[in-house]
Amino acid sequence: MPTMTVWVLTTALLWSVQWSDVTGEGHIDPLTSSLCRLREECTQKVNVEDLEHDELGTPQAICVDFMELLEKHDVDCETLEDPGVKPADVERTLELQYTDKEREQPPTSEKGKENNGDLGYKPHPIDNPGQQFSGNDQERMNQYQDCSHIYTAGSTTNGVYFIKPVNVRDKLSVYCDQTTDGGGWTVIQRRFNGSLEFYRFIDAYRDGFGNSSGEYWLGLDNIHHITAQTSYELYIELKDWQGNVKYAKYSTFSVGPGNNYTLAIDGYSGTAGNGMDLNSGLNFTARGSDPEAILDISMAQFYGGGWWYFWLGSHSNLNGPYFRDTDGFNSDSGNGPGVLWSPFHDNVYYSLKETKMMVRPKG
């Protein structure tokens, strides 16, 4: 058997065994890099040789199968080829990853000290990945300061795109919602299956964590730079465990510079209730932030996340622990608030299933 065929089979077998070690789309790890180099050689092999692609056992046939497998698992080799891209991932933080077999049943997570016990993974279909710019389009990237510019340029499909806000050195990988309420929304926070741990230290919230094709937090520094470009509005989309969808829209939204990342928010409208009525003017707090602000730290620990916490309580905490036992959403559960937006059900214990926070320049 040709050397190329042996290499393809060996690498494909290694991939199937170690797939759970790949740390997500857009993340440059040794295994993914090797797979992409193999894909490049496969492409050259298929183009150079004149053997029939459908002949069983030929390098061409194996390469075709291998590249279909890469596509099936959403390995983005184009992103890996662009060293200037800065995705929302942060290597210092932990993200739960599972093989296809593990997705069939809720696992017990033992990874890292920051995990809050068993998160109980439940798969959820990822939205259309949309379009990523390449080639000549990369030269125009500097003009796309947020998803509204991309929408105006003619890309109206929901998905992952690159933007470069003013005063941000590297391009950012973000999810753009181009269909809700007229489109043009840059997603700064998204949760839908509990696969990503949100009880993290303040530096993780500052830099961002997760992956823009899945659950993620874009990062306080990035959110500040985006909302400092002009006047922005905020749209929050929420879904409960019965499939009910509501929204909260704010005509004014901005995040101040570090170290406090003070919130400015006003002008509520919508169907979910004003869960941010107590938060304007507050500083962002999380684990390890401002050790002298004892009350703020105790609230961050009590709510189990990072947020603009009001020291007497909060009507919202969209970065809180992800709970699945809907029967336990009450004062006797002992869990405390989870993914909280209390006006949604007029219940300070109900933990929501899905959240999406997104910003857009005012019309």
pLDDT tens, residue by residue, 115-144:
333 322 222 222 333 344 444 554 455 579
> Nearest to residue 200, comparing CAs of 299, 296, 321?
321
Predicted pLDDT at 265: 98
Domain boundaries in the chain?
A: 3-80, 86-361
Of 212, 192, 234, 263, which Cα lies nearest the Cα of 358? 234
- Phi and psi torsions of 85, nearest 5°: -80, 135
Q: How does strand 171-177 pair with strand 85-86?
A: parallel
Yes or no: say if 43 and 52 are a contact pair by the CB < 8 Å rule.
no
Task: Check whether 12 has a pLDDT greater than 60.
Answer: no
Q: Classify residue 252 by its DSSP letter.
A: E
Interval 25-39 mean pLDDT: 54
Percent share of the chain, pLDDT over 70: 56
d(CA 337, CA 302): 9
Q: How far is Cα 12 from Cα 74, in angstroms, rounded to an integer?
A: 15
Contacts of 219 (CB under 8 A, 6+ apart): 88, 90, 205, 206, 207, 208, 209
pLDDT at 20 exceeding the cut of 60: no
**Termini Cα distance of the chain:** 63
| pLDDT averaged over every residue in the chain | 73
DSSP single-letter state for residue 146: S
Res 302: pLDDT: 81
- Confidence at 44, pLDDT banded by 50, 70, 90: low
Alpha-carbon span 175 to 186, nearest angstrom: 6
pLDDT of residue 15: 38
Q: What is the pLDDT of residue 325?
A: 75
Predicted pLDDT at 318: 98
d(CA 295, CA 307): 13
Q: Is 362 exposed, middle or buried (0-12, 13-18, 19+ CB in 10 A)?
A: exposed
Confidence of residue 274 (pLDDT cuts 50, 70, 90): very high
Q: What are phi and psi of 11, to 5 degrees?
A: -65, -40
Q: Is 81 exposed, middle or buried (0-12, 13-18, 19+ CB in 10 A)?
A: exposed
CA atoms within 13 A on the CB side of 328: 10
pLDDT tens-digit series, residues 76-122 = 565 444 444 444 433 332 222 222 333 333 333 333 333 333 322 22
| pLDDT for residue 293 | 56
Which helix H or strand E contains 5, and what residues bound it? helix 3-18
Please compute the mean of the pLDDT values over residues 155-180 and round it to a whole number.
96
pLDDT of residue 299: 80
3-state secondary structure of 332: coil
Phi, psi values for residue 42, rounded to 5°: -60, -45
pLDDT per residue over 288-305, tens digit each? 886 555 555 568 888 889
Predicted confidence band of residue 311 (pLDDT cuts 50, 70, 90)? confident
Three-class SS of residue 117? coil
> Cis peptide before 193, with omega less than 30 degrees from 0?
no
DSSP label at residue 233: E
Burial tier of 247 (Cβ tally within 10 Å: 0-12, 13-18, 19+): middle
Phi-psi region of 120 (alpha: psi -120 to 50; beta: other; left: phi over 0): left
Return the residue matching tokens 């009350």: 295
Confirm whether pTM is higher than 0.75: no
For 216-234, the pLDDT digits (tens) are: 999 999 999 999 999 999 9
Q: Decide yes or no: CATH 3.40.50.1380 for domain 86-361.
A: no
In 3-state terms, what secondary structure has residue 204? helix
The string of pLDDT tens digits covering residues 314-328 is 899 999 999 987 767
| Angle at the Cα of 356 from the Cα atoms of 253 and 304, rounded to 5 degrees | 90
